Amino acid sequence: MIRTSRGALPVLLVGALMIVAGSTRAQPGTIIDFCPVPGVTDAAAADRPDGIILTAFDRTSIWALELDTGRRYPLPETTPCAGNCSLSPDGTWLLYFNDATNAVNRMRLNGTERSLAVASAAEVEWWSPDRFLVWTPAHRAYLSGEGDVPPQPLDVNGIASVQPGGFLALGYREAYGQIERVLVDLSLDPSRRAAQSIELGLAVPFFDAAAWSPDGSTLALTVPIDGLETEASAELAAIGTSDDAPERWTRMQEVYGDVRINGIGNGEMSWSPDSTRIAFWVIPLGVDAPDQATAPAVLHVIDVASRNVIAYCGYASPDTTPNPPRLVWSPDGRHIAFAGNVPEDTRGTLLISLDTSTGRYSALSVGVYPAFGAPNVYAWGLAPDE
């Protein structure tokens, strides 16, 4: 089923979001329902995807699930991830918190080849294949290189996330008694940043998810527009590194009515490894509160080039608030993994994989543990010999 827009509604964004005038880029496209196989089936051995998925099956450790063999095991000296795990750009290394040394280490996804990455940090992520972006407990940041490369401090006052491989950043600032999102250039002197920053609209709870594409070319973000029945409805927008304003990519409200995209977490936009697609949950709203869903969440994927959206409606997640399940792409960009509950299934929370080419949802394992209040997948990468 192909859903087309019901007409051109005005774009009344909360805050300062504007559509790029005279843009020749693709316009918001259609929504295509794709659910040839309803429900979640057990994954046949021949249909199992490749690689290693990291999640938690108890409260003590990160666990590895080797998809080719079905073998799963805890990784010693680790703790379940709470934002302090980061997969390398090539999908072969993981930055993690070492519980024995209180330092951030790196290792292969099967737990081998461990080494120290950063002695003391609140969070460490890959900024490039050979440099780390290090966030300190005092919310300072610097770039750390391999070997004798000296640290490069970054002025991140008011900054939430930094462009991979670059110096653009998503920031927050007060504007007329409200909090506004802005795009700033960290390479500029701080005295010049405010004048040259780009307004991205107000930061509204449940409507301010954002994430950089892996190649650093685009910042995707959810934005609130005036709702039909509620205070606001969500759409997906994005801004490229050469743009002077964000551009709206979806027209969800014209098809579904008022909706929410993802949850209250402000970093839960899931890009494919090749930066060509974004996966997200769409949650219908029908009351005057964004934290109250009226139906389960359905997984959607947008193609960045065409702006067309596929609704993978074979499964709907009952877990919607405060956040739906975290979405993690496979290294080849074909599958999306998450932890989910299936009605009338007694096996607990399942580790589920969506094959985006067939629309089939498959159960890869059982008993995913809610280490931090909700069961989640942490990473999907490659074994050392792949």
> What pLDDT score was predicted for residue 286?
81
Q: Does residue 203 contact residue 172 with C-beta atoms inside 8 Å?
A: yes
Q: Does residue 170 contact residue 183 with C-beta atoms inside 8 Å?
A: yes
> What pLDDT score was predicted for residue 26?
58
What residues contact 202, with CB distance under 8 A and at least 6 apart? 14, 15, 16, 175, 178, 179, 180, 181, 224
Residue 9 has pLDDT above 60, yes or no: no
Residue 62 has pLDDT above 80, yes or no: yes
Assess whether the previous peptide bond of 322 is cis (omega < 30° from 0): yes
> What pLDDT score was predicted for residue 386?
57
Mean pLDDT calculated for residue range 70-86: 90
At 27, is the pLDDT very low, low, confident or very high (cuts 50, 70, 90)?
low
Q: Which H/E stretch holds residue 303?
A: strand 297-303
How far is the CA of 137 from the CAs of 124, 141, 172, 218, 335, in angstroms?
11, 9, 19, 28, 35
Q: Is the dihedral of CA 298, 299, 305, 306 positive or negative?
A: negative
Q: Does residue 85 contact residue 95 with C-beta atoms inside 8 Å?
A: yes
> What pLDDT score was predicted for residue 22?
33
Give the global pTM: 0.91
Rounded-to-integer distance, Cα 118 and Cα 108, Å: 16
Average pLDDT over the chain reads 89
Residue 64 has pLDDT above 50, yes or no: yes
**Nearest 5°: phi and psi at 165?**
70, 10
Q: Does residue 92 contact residue 109 with C-beta atoms inside 8 Å?
A: yes
For the stretch 329-362, pLDDT in tens is 999 999 999 999 998 888 889 999 999 999 999 9
Assess whether the previous peptide bond of 36 is cis (omega < 30° from 0): no
> What pLDDT score was predicted for residue 82?
72
Residue 23 has pLDDT above 50, yes or no: no
Domain extents for the chain?
2-381
> What pLDDT score was predicted for residue 79?
92
Rounded-to-integer distance, Cα 353 and Cα 365, Å: 10
For the stretch 202-249, pLDDT in tens is 999 999 999 999 999 999 999 999 877 667 899 999 999 999 999 999
What are the structure tokens assigned to 374, written together? 């909700």
Residue 201 has pLDDT above 80, yes or no: yes
Residue 116 has pLDDT above 90, yes or no: yes
At 6, is the pLDDT very low, low, confident or very high (cuts 50, 70, 90)?
very low
Q: Does residue 145 contact residue 130 with C-beta atoms inside 8 Å?
A: yes
Share of the chain above pLDDT 70, in %: 91
Residue 173 has pLDDT above 80, yes or no: yes
Mean pLDDT calculated for residue range 160-167: 96
Rounded-to-integer distance, Cα 63 and Cα 73, Å: 5
Unique residue bearing structure tokens 């010049």: 192
> What pLDDT score was predicted for residue 346?
87
Residue 5 has pLDDT above 70, yes or no: no
Mean pLDDT calculated for residue range 28-48: 86
Kind of pairing, strands 2-3 and 31-33? antiparallel
Residues written for the chain: 386
> What pLDDT score was predicted for residue 8?
31
> What pLDDT score was predicted for residue 46?
67
Q: Does residue 226 contact residue 12 with C-beta atoms inside 8 Å?
A: yes
CATH for 2-381 is 2.130.10.10
Angle at 308 between CA 307 and CA 314, to 5 degrees: 140
For the stretch 305-325, pLDDT in tens is 999 999 999 999 999 999 999
Select, from the ranges 36-40, 150-154, 274-278, the one with the highest average predicted confidence (pLDDT): 274-278
